[in-house]
A and B are shown apart, each in its own frame.
Chain A
Amino acid sequence: MHVLGTWIRPMTLILAAAPLLRAQDGDMAERLYRSGERAHAARSYAEATETWNQLIAQLPQSPFAARALLSLARHQLEVEHKPDAALPFLEKLKNAYLKTPQAGDALLLLGRLRAERSHSPADIKEALADFNRLVDLFPDHPLVQEARFRMGLARKLQGDWTRALQAFTEAMRMDPDAPAAIAAQLQAAETLDILGDLPGCLRMLQDLRNRHPQAPEAQEALWRIQARAVQRLQKPPLKSQGPWPQGRTKWLKTPTLLATGPEGDVYLYQSDDDRAYHLKDGALVASGPVVKGGKALLVPAPGTTWIVNARSGVVKEEGPQAAAAPLPSPSGGMLDAWGNPWICDPGSPVIQVLAGDAAPRSLQVPAVQALAPLPDGGAAAASDATRTLLFLDAAGRARVTVPYGKDLPASFKYVVSLASDPVGHVAALVDGDFEGVVVWGPDGSVLRSATYKALGIAGKFRAVALDRAGGLILADRSNDLLIRLQ
């Protein structure tokens, strides 16, 4: 049983056009469409696409032509995994069949594809336009809720936080039990934190858990609550829990870089074999290319690693990502909210942003030697030259500047490693009068800190990562082990 009310107007338009088609043509169009469906279900893809193309070519006025176009687009996306090949079908559907309900589906898919392929605020405007068209032209379409959720994501990428919150709340108001509403609630909570409403963020995350305990987002909300509670509410003194995973010593080969993947797993880079590993279920799984002299470890997707090194910049599995004028001596890097690598060089006056196929952009931030991403699309940037930790927005403007040593018992001179978590906490290993670990909040305030001495640990700590339980993982290259602080 399904609700029809939403389709009254489009159906009326289709029915109004129906007399233009002879009855037998209408029958034939439906038969062709169903034949294509049957072939597709039987995985006879060539037969299916040929049948649908035939329908579109011979009976373009039939409402089934629009359905055939949508089916062809979905086939390219879901079976062939060729988004570029799907675009022409979707564009044709949008342009020639705008009055059909399938045009609503096409607009959402177009918006999604454009959002996924965007690398800058300008790119995502087109995606927003598609989502807006869907909402305006098909207000009763079942995909409006998802369109609003994706509008929120797009606004968030643009750094337009309040409009993002508006879109997320609109999605939440529509059918609160639908997956899009639950996903929107998670994003709305995160947006509230960016807007400075930590209690509101925590309330909404917990509300998500209360209302949808079985949804995958409930688990996501749990660690986001816990990480914030540990770092910003409870702020317990940092304590060493010793080698991690528990009791494992001398099991690594000169770990020098650490990163946390999007799924929350720890990744590390070992200097001895010049490659990255995914620490999965207590075992090391080799990941990504072999790259000498790694300076930063980037994890764009679970199981995928990129390395920043001094010679080639960003090195992916398929090879180095070209930059027109590479920085002479990269020392750090990160991935921003768009998935663009940011590369820094303490000797350079800029941070270089590699945006897809476009020419690299330069952000005028001098002498940065370490970077860590922030959930607002910007970055935390450590500059030993100016002895400041900068909280940059997505355009590279410093919204907060924290002098080294501020609010600490003693100052420090160097940031050895910089890391962040997806909820805005920044951690650093520092050297100088204060030699140890510092954790800052999204506003630049010191949340937790401890010297190695106070922690009772000794070694050559070269890298730090933040885990989802509010803990810190330290890589000790001299003892070939990891240590966890809580």
Chain B
Amino acid sequence: MMRRLLCLLLTACAALGAQDPSLRDTLASAKALWATQGDRDGAAAKFEAVLAALEPSARTLDEGWTRLLCEAYNWTAVLDDRTAGKKAQAPKRLESLLDLDPDYEIDRTITNPRLQAAFDGLRAARFGRVKLALEPAGGVLTVDGKARRSEAGVHWMTPGPHTAAYARIGYKPREMTFEVALKDARDLDFKLERTSSVITVFTSPAGAELLVDGKSRGFSRGQVPADRSYLADRAGVKPEQLSDGLRIADLAPGKHLLEVRLPCHRTRRLEIAEALTTPFADSDLEPVKLEPSRGTLTVQSAAPGGQLFLSGLDMGRVPARDLQVCAQAYDLQVKYPAGSFTQRIEVAEGASLTVVARPKPRLTYAGFEGNDDFAGRERLLGMLAALGGRLHEVAFFTAAKGESLKDCLARLRSSRETELLLWARPAPGRPVQQVELVLSTLTGQEERLTVMPLEQDPLGSLAVRMDRQASLSEPWAGLTLLDLPEGAHVLQADAAALKAGIKPGRLLTEAAGKPVANVADFRKALAEARGGTLMVAQGEAPVKLAVAQMPTELPVNASGLCYPVVLADLRLRYLGAQGDDAALLRLGQALALMHFREYDKALEVLRDARMVAVQGVSQGTLDYYTGTCLLHMGAAYQREAAQSFNQALKYPQATLFGPDGPLLAPLARQALQDLQP
């Protein structure tokens, strides 16, 4: 495998004209051997080595290597001419030279007159003379579509018709068609007409994108040439830190806005003065130095094992604190052992951004089962493949290219690289008018739904349900209020609220500085409370209440939730959770499993859960649902069920649903009564 790769690489290098730089030294040492030491044999061997290396790729060599090969031919011809047994080869060397570049001028100081005459005769016998005038110099010359040295003067061309073109940035290019004959000379005059100003921009560092009046004109590249290295001094950088100039033409007369952008650097905006564009002229702008632009990024995560990627670049493990990153937009991704988190972020220069990451369930669309053709098939398949664009709480993936549905399902079930699988198949009945979608966890809890491929938005409600997160808590300030005609009446207050000065039986008149006319007003203020406190008043001086999150139950069979997604999400949220939060997530998982009527699995989940809280949805609630699951397990578990309900009765303040839900004690007592023989 590696060998094949190496061969491919070498072939590619040869095709691109890449040559061994040591050949230049070989040629130089060959010339020195002959000129200074008179070592003809040694010199000939080295010239032959150069020819052997370059001749096979002679037609693809660039201008520099072509000249070097021509030089080697010239010297070898001279050497052959002076060696008795090789004299006849000298003209062949010269013919090879002319094949390669008829414009090449041999070194007449080393070539004897006889050989010079032979060279001139060979050239005159095969090529006609064309004398070119190029104005202005520095343009690009092509003959018959091939680049040619852009030099004014005599050029040798094969007899027959030719087309020559000459172009230079800022000028209107010209093209001429002409006939070349042997022993004849033609004069061609390329005088270009100026069409716009040209400015040349150097940037530090290289790689910046240049935009004129909002339109991209290219990227600065390379390094400033030696003859312009003074520009680096002007910019206060080293020459290697300054790019080669990017020439920008097509500038209409007048002012222009130049914008220089480079990721991780502050964007520069410069005005191109009218004087630089009117009248038309070529100008170099002062070098543009770009200052680095950075911000600080912190990524928090309660779930362990996350790997942070910023726009695909591995940034190490999370949590990650105070990362110095370029100020720009990123696609932030945290890959967890299970689940994934993605978010588009914008890090501002000099600012600190904190992202709280958590693993979101990964959903893979595995494909469509069968090849049935039906109206709307392509549309529906396209919508399924693009479903990820509508999901924020689920990381969306599709099957590998060319992978069959069966293979994809098998791969993902074995690799566990996803938490959720989605596939589609035609619903029974012909012609196909409905499609069944199957959404399943890896542990088999699935939802099936049918869609009509031609309906307005077949996936609309599914996408909404998939993106809806199940809430397991609500804000709570320790107050139970009632809507009465005169206002929000305080029915009950917990110990903390009583201590803060709340008086049950009176109206609550103010919350967060706003009047409270009813319970809805208070709940709005509670939902908007920040910093964990809420100021409330009962017609007197305001008092400060602590705002906490009180646990609530996950509903089952809720039409607005997609339970495979809910279950997968709760499993991921459980990773790294601790204490009552972890137990509450366990309760949520159990209720989700009860939605699928998998009471045995729900029981397994509840067995591990313990809560310190004894009021509201708390330890008693866990015990009650443990008992409920055991009841569904059949008569064999009745004794254990009774134990669980008895355990639940030890928490008389435990409720169902939420803090304002019913006390579970009477229900547990009834369950115990029903269990009695």
B-binding residues in A (CB < 8 A): 1-5, 8, 15, 139-140, 145, 162-163, 165-166, 169, 172-178, 188, 192, 195, 197, 199-200, 202-204, 206-207, 209-210, 213, 222, 225-226, 229, 233-234, 469
Contacts and interface: CB of A to CB of B under 8 A. Distances in A.
Contacts of B460: 1
B483 interface: yes
A1 B485 CA distance: 43
Contacts of B557: 145, 173-175
Nearest to B462: A1
A163 B491 CA distance: 27
B35 interface: no
B5 interface: no
B558 A176 contact: yes
- Which 6 A-B pairs give the minimum distances between C-beta atoms? A162-B670, A174-B557, A207-B660, A4-B448, A203-B660, A175-B557
Nearest to B558: A175
A89 B474 CA distance: 48
Contacts of B500: none
Contacts of A1: 449-452, 455, 458, 460-462
Contacts of A177: 558-560
B657 interface: yes
A311 to B, nearest CB: 44
Given A162-B669, A169-B656, A225-B483, A176 B662 contact: no
18 contacts: A1-B451, A1-B452, A145-B557, A162-B667, A162-B669, A165-B670, A166-B667, A173-B657, A174-B556, A174-B557, A203-B491, A204-B660, A204-B662, A206-B519, A206-B660, A209-B519, A225-B482, A229-B482
Nearest to A139: B597
A202 B666 CA distance: 17
B520 interface: yes
Contacts, number: 119
Point out which of B460, B523, B656 has the most chain A C-beta atoms below 10 A from its C-beta: B656
A210 B660 CA distance: 11
B492 interface: yes
B658 interface: yes
Contacts of B462: 1
Given A4-B449, A206-B519, A188 B485 contact: no
Interface in B656-677: 656-658, 660-663, 666-667, 669-671
Given A1-B451, A207-B660, A226 B485 contact: yes
B670 A163 contact: yes
A166 B662 CA distance: 10
Nearest to A201: B662
B447 interface: yes
Interface string B481-500: 11111000101100000000
B556 to A, nearest CB: 6
B505 interface: yes
Interface in B499-558: 505, 519-520, 523, 553, 555-558
Given A202-B491, A203-B660, A162 B484 contact: no
Nearest to A160: B670
B71 interface: no
Nearest to A172: B657
B450 A2 contact: yes
B436 interface: yes
B446 interface: yes
A222 B461 contact: no
Interface string B468-485: 000000000000111111
Interface in B619-677: 656-658, 660-663, 666-667, 669-671
Contacts of B436: 4
Contact of A175 (B450, B519, B559): B559
Nearest to B670: A162
B661 A207 contact: yes
Point out which of B492, B553, B658, B670 has the most chain A C-beta atoms below 10 A from its C-beta: B670
Nearest to B488: A206
Contact of A178 (B447, B451, B481, B559): B559
Contacts of A5: 446-449
A11 B387 CA distance: 29
A207 B658 contact: yes
Given A174-B556, A202-B491, A233-B489, 5 more contacts: A1-B449, A172-B657, A177-B559, A203-B492, A226-B484
A192 B657 CA distance: 15
A264 to B, nearest CB: 15
B555 A229 contact: no
Contacts of A176: 555, 558, 657
Given A1-B462, A166-B670, A206 B480 contact: yes
Contact of B667 (A165, A206, A226): A165
Interface in B171-197: none
B448 A3 contact: yes
A246 B670 CA distance: 49
Point out which of A172, A173, A192 has the most chain B C-beta atoms below 10 A from its C-beta: A173
Given A213-B520, A225-B483, A229-B482, A200 B670 contact: no
A2 B523 contact: no
